[in-house]
Amino acid sequence: NAGVMQNPRHLVRRRGQEARLRCSPMKGHSHVYWYRQLPEEGLKFMVYLQKENIIDESGMPKERFSAEFPKEGPSILRIQQVVRGDSAAYFCASSPLTGPYGYTFGSGTRLTVV
Amino acid sequence: AQTVTQSQPEMSVQEAETVTLSCTYDTSESDYYLFWYKQPPSRQMILVIRQEAYKQQNATENRFSVNFQKAAKSFSLKISDSQLGDAAMYFCAYRSPGNFGNEKLTFGTGTRLTIIP
């Protein structure tokens, strides 16, 4: 039973390019969460999705960032026209349903904008 | 909005000794969940222990235990018989009970734990 799979593990983009981060939740999990971790900081919530629905995007920057979780395939976090300040580790987590469960996290994607 | 505070940016402990990491939180909710996560240099977030607020009994997982003081809104982590593999960043996290789509985790800023051989 594979865990939460994120790819790529490392991603380097030049300023102005697009970054696409992928997350495949654990088998049977239908809830996906994206978090961002800046250097030497804790994780900050970005967006919570269920299949084909964005439930809570209160942590997403208003511009350039979008997320989707289609009926088939992985969840995608998309960052358009990246800037240096987007450099961070982006984590995906999944859970099967609401309740007293801690999430299962992926290993993260480290995005570096040069 | 809920907030989580970890007031110890760094802690160190001698191998085989006991260490306690502090965490306080602020919430107006009566039911919620609390977690401790470990993040080693590999960056993987690993769930260490969790506590349901309605349970008075403190959670325990092998060498890891919590001291949950609901009235004081305190949730400390005790690591007994510290081992070199315990060296990591430790994050305290809060989660609402899960109604109405508000199941996100709110994290503290973390405590870096160093184990001294």
Can you tell me the mean pLDDT for A103-111? Answer: 92
- Which amino acid, residue B22? S
More confident residue, B88 or A102: B88
pLDDT for B23 equals: 98
DSSP SS3 for A85: helix
Give the integer Cα–Cα distance in Å for A79 and A11: 12
DSSP SS3 for B87: coil
pLDDT for A42 equals: 85
- In which region does residue B80 sit, left (phi positive, over 0), alpha (psi from -120 to 50) or beta (all else)? beta
Query: pLDDT for B34-84, tens place per residue?
Result: 999 999 988 889 999 999 898 888 999 999 999 999 999 999 999 999 999
Query: pLDDT for B7-23, tens place per residue?
Result: 999 999 999 999 999 99
According to DSSP, the β-strands at A5-7 and A19-24 are antiparallel
pLDDT for A101 equals: 65
Sequence length of chain A is: 114
**CB–CB contact A108 B110 (8 Å):** no
Q: Residue A18 pLDDT more than 90? A: yes
Q: Residue A102 pLDDT more than 70? A: no
pLDDT for A61 equals: 94
According to DSSP, the β-strands at A10-13 and A109-113 are parallel
**Minimal CA separation from A43 to chain B, in Å:** 6
pLDDT for B56 equals: 84
**Which stretches of chain B sit within 8 Å of chain A by CB?**
33, 35, 37, 42-47, 50, 52, 91, 93, 97-99, 101-110
Query: pLDDT for B64-78, tens place per residue?
Result: 999 999 999 999 999
pLDDT for A1 equals: 54
Can you tell me the mean pLDDT for A63-90? Answer: 96
- Chain B residues inside the 8 Å CB shell of A41: 109-110
